[in-house]
Amino acid sequence: MPETDEKPPLFKTWKGWYALVIGLLLLQIILFAQLTKLFS
Amino acid sequence: MSTIDWAVLILTLGGIIIYGVYKSRSSRNLEGYFLSNREMPWWIVLLSIMGTQASAVTFLSAPGQAYTDGMRFVQYYFGLPFAMVVLCITFVPIFHKLKLYTAYEFLEKRFDVKTRTYTSFLFLLSRALSTGISVYAPAIILSSLLGWNIYLTNIVMGGMLIIYTVTGGARAVAYTQQLQLIIVFIGLIIAGYMVVHFLPANVGFTDALLIGGKMGKFNVITTGISEKGFDWTDRFNIFSGVIGGFFLSLAYFGTDQSQVGRYLTAKSVRESRMGLLMNGIVKVPMQFLILLIGVLVFTFYQFNSAPVFFNDIPLSQLRESDKADSLKLLEDSYSSLSKEKQKLVADFVQQPNGSAESDRVTDQMLDIQEKQNSLREEVKQLVEKNVSKSESNDTNYIFIRFVLDHLPAGLVGLLIAIIFLAAWGSIAAALNSLASATVVDFHKKFINKNLTDEQDFRVSRWYTLLWGVFCVAVAIFVTGLGSLIEAVNVLGSWFYGVMLGIFLVAFYMKKIGGNAVFVAAIVGEIIVIGTYAFTDIGWLWLNVIGAVAVVFLAWILQVTIFASSKQGVKQI
């Protein structure tokens, strides 16, 4: 895959941002599943 | 609408046009006009991406969707964050490295002219028609509810934004989208607050959610799996959301010039990536909150009388027909059930959650809800048989009807303005992208290659104006066509999968050439349209089918028919 030498903010590499985006999605899905149970 | 509503509406819309024209200063060349000189920071890119995706129907339809079908629509966006990551890894660096104006230029560099032209044509066809519909869809709702002339509403909805889109190009589009989104969010937050404020004093926010949840509206996560197995016709569940949504988002953000053109305005790969990744972070919670307003509106109507059908125009027509008595009977039954349910809901709030009494009251509430749903269905049937099929779905009318019936003067004007602003944001980006694809992929390719910067600029403005007029003309033409509009709404899914398949081959299958992918794309398109015509499969899956068909067929064709031919195989 093509890479660029531009550094991302906060993390050392872009992989940190990718993990954050997917991690937050998974957290939201877990939270939504709990809310579905809680309010049904 | 009151005078104050008109004042708020006119001031907001006029302010946006003036702001757009004020922000119109850009270099008089292609890069300045279509890509804002590639100088935008990530947060403008983010707001521009969001403003392009969120059309007026997004804000009209989503709360209504939650009211009728619950929160599960949010799952449609679960594939989006994955798509943002793939775009940042693969698409963005290559698009920036090649300094492209349109995504389709890449296909000529990778394959050949015919593949680029075919894909750009598919984009122009689907985007032009869907933009026409995105002018018409909110216009018909507002004109129905407010008694406005539909043709004039179409012209304001799709025509006024042409002023700043033509004069300022991508720069004006991006800056106005930023302001539009801020106003949209402020309006929605106020609307959400007002719904809770209108609930009885003893009913808090969590009580409202609990009532909505007990009535089946808090179904955020669903699997689509029953005793009969997985339901492929189920539109929104976690599997169609993650897989179908991923393919749809990848196609939309990676191959649709209306989105590619937004992140190509970024000043670097870093700014493009940050804009897309932040979109991956904020999109799901944003849609969740918009849907939540729909659940709150539903709860509001558990304490107040809801109309049996939210679009009053077909009901007025039925009242003047020989079906007036049937409608009256249904409306009276619905109203008496509402009153009965209101007492039960008031009783429910008094009971401790989870108690036997609470469960008993919930069962009774659900029983009444089911009867009311049947009555709503009967009214829809009446509308479908005696007025028109296209008017038998009132989902898009629910939220705006609540706004008009219950919000105070001033706020009504603001919420109507939001519908216009949301429409303008997505339509302006569409016109800019239609013009860029026409100029770069067709005019400069086949008509006149040797234009000066000033000529490029002028031609680009003319094409933006022409596409604006075309889209308003489509909106006016489809007025009264009814069922055709539903077909056009899924038009994107006919093409997105195939377009994505072409780009996936281009990026990931280096040994496949232009001839194989071109034939695969044509056959893939036939497969998608055939699947749509002859099966009931949920439309999100069409994106998967189109992409997989092109990838698979291109590979088969390359290793069989085109095995001996190296023609069309290029490396970037």
Give chain A positions within 8 Å (CB) of B85.
18, 21-22
Q: What is the nearest CA distance from A31 to chain B, expressed in angstroms?
A: 10
End-to-end CA distance of chain B: 58
* ipTM rounded to 2 decimals: 0.91
Categorize the per-residue pLDDT at B557 as very low, low, confident or very high, splitting at 50, 70 and 90: very high
- Say if B90 is an interface residue toward chain A (CB within 8 Å): yes
Question: For residue range B110-145, what is the model confidence (pLDDT) as tens digits?
Answer: 998 999 999 999 999 989 988 888 888 888 778 877
Closest CB to A28 among B209, B214, B285: B285
Q: Which of B269-283, B334-348, B484-498 has the highest mean pLDDT?
A: B269-283
Distance of CA B192 to the CA centre of its chain: 21
Q: What secondary structure letter does DSSP report for A7?
A: P
Q: What is the nearest CA distance from A37 to chain B, expressed in angstroms?
A: 8
- Say if B284 is an interface residue toward chain A (CB within 8 Å): yes
Categorize the per-residue pLDDT at B90 as very low, low, confident or very high, splitting at 50, 70 and 90: very high
DSSP sequence for B59-107: HHHHHHHHHHH-GGGGGGGTTHHHHHHHIIIIIHHHHHHTT-SSTTHHH
Q: For position B289, what pLDDT does the model report? A: 93
Higher pLDDT: B487 or B11? It is B11
Neighbours of B490 (CB within 10 A): 13
Q: Is the pLDDT of residue B484 over 60?
A: no
For residue B489, CA distances in Å to B56, B107, B245, B314, B387 come to 14, 27, 16, 22, 21
Round to whole Å and give the CA distance between B386 and B152. Answer: 27
pTM of the model: 0.87
Contact assessment for residue B54 and residue A1, using Cβ atoms and an 8 Å cutoff: no
Q: What is the nearest CA distance from A14 to chain B, expressed in angstroms?
A: 9
Categorize the per-residue pLDDT at B292 as very low, low, confident or very high, splitting at 50, 70 and 90: very high
B226-251 core/surface letters (b: 16 or more CB in 10 A; e: else): eeeeeeeebbbbbbbbbbbbbbbbbb
HSE-CB of B431 using CA atoms within 13 angstroms: 38
Mutation target to probe the A interface, by most A beta carbons within 10 A, among B220, B284, B287, B348 is B220
Nearest to B209 by CA among B305, B308, B300: B300
The chain-wide mean pLDDT, for chain B, equals 88
Categorize the per-residue pLDDT at B522 as very low, low, confident or very high, splitting at 50, 70 and 90: very high
Give chain B positions within 8 Å (CB) of A13.
none
Mutation target to probe the A interface, by most A beta carbons within 10 A, among B85, B237, B242, B253 is B85
End-to-end CA distance of chain A: 45
**Chain A nearest-CA residue for B85:** A18
For residue B514, CA distances in Å to A14, B108, B557, B562 come to 32, 9, 11, 10
Q: For position A1, what pLDDT does the model report? A: 44
Q: What is the nearest CA distance from B353 to chain A, expressed in angstroms?
A: 10
Contact A4 B269 (CB under 8 A): yes
Crossing angle for the helix pair B205-214 and B356-386, nearest 10 degrees? 70
User: Which H/E stretch holds residue B230?
Assistant: strand B229-230
User: Which H/E stretch holds residue B335?
Assistant: helix B324-350
Which residues 6+ apart lie within 8 Å of B449 measured at CB? none
Contact assessment for residue B257 and residue B436, using Cβ atoms and an 8 Å cutoff: yes
Q: For position B480, what pLDDT does the model report? A: 62
Higher pLDDT: B63 or B224? It is B63
At residue B226, the 3 state secondary structure works out as strand
Round to whole Å and give the CA distance between B59 and B395. Answer: 12
At residue B266, the 3 state secondary structure works out as strand
Give chain B positions within 8 Å (CB) of A2.
90, 93-94, 97
Under 8 Å CB pairs connecting chains A and B tally to 79
Categorize the per-residue pLDDT at B329 as very low, low, confident or very high, splitting at 50, 70 and 90: very high
- Amino acid found at B374: S
Q: Is the pLDDT of residue B328 over 70?
A: yes
Q: Is the pLDDT of residue B283 over 90?
A: yes
- Say if B290 is an interface residue toward chain A (CB within 8 Å): no
Question: For residue range B198-226, what is the model confidence (pLDDT) as tens digits?
Answer: 999 888 888 899 999 998 898 888 887 88
Q: What is the nearest CA distance from B296 to chain A, expressed in angstroms?
A: 13
Q: Is the pLDDT of residue B33 over 90?
A: no
Which residues 6+ apart lie within 8 Å of B172 measured at CB? B20, B21, B23, B24, B26, B164, B165, B428
pLDDT (mean) for B399-427? 89
